[in-house]
Amino acid sequence: SIAQFTSLGSDSVARTTYANIGESHSTGVSLSVNTTLFQKLNLNINGSSHYIQFTSTIDGKLRNIDGYDCNVFASAAYRFNKSWRVSGNFSYYSPGIFFQGTITGNTRHSATINKTFLKDGKAALTLTANNPFQKHRRSHSEINDPSFRLVQESNSLTRQLRLSFSYRFGKLQGD
């Protein structure tokens, strides 16, 4: 399997690159459900879970790592009439594993209000709030190597408010 890996040089500098360093096996299950209720409410949920196994040789050292991961996405959209729509979604990503270590999981969520107007709804104004309840997202990854340990942490701004305008000029014509 071609994968990212990090090694520590004789100068104590960690270098990350890609190479064919081993094998990965994944066994999992996915589920997707989508339904419409009352002709105006659409509900959607998708999920997957996997058992992952990594076997690798980095710097002549054999490593075996295994674990589970899980992802879930859910959304709901309600259409009040032809021109007004509200929607929201939530995503969960479990902590993950890779050839040399682990990475934190995270959640994401958003809410959207959409108004279409003009003839045949050609124009739309959309207001979206991404992660309104989470200002920052902390990411943490660890590389555990027999010769070194590397911890990387970052904190990124995730809360966003977005206003967009779109206009459809026409339809594509097929042969």
SS3 at position 60: coil
Q: What is the C-alpha separation between 113 and 127, in angstroms, rounded?
A: 5
Q: pLDDT of 55-108, one tens digit each?
A: 887 667 788 889 999 999 999 999 999 899 999 999 999 998 888 888 999 999
Burial label for 164, CB within 10 Å (0-12, 13-18, 19+), is: exposed
Q: pLDDT of 85-98, one tens digit each?
A: 999 999 999 998 88
- Tell if the pTM clears 0.85, that is, is over it: no
- Which residues touch 149 (CB under 8 Å, ≥6 apart)? 142, 143
Tell me the two tokens of residue 112.
């959207």
Q: What is the C-alpha separation between 124 and 84, in angstroms, rounded?
A: 10
Work out the pLDDT band at 22, boundaries 50, 70, 90. confident
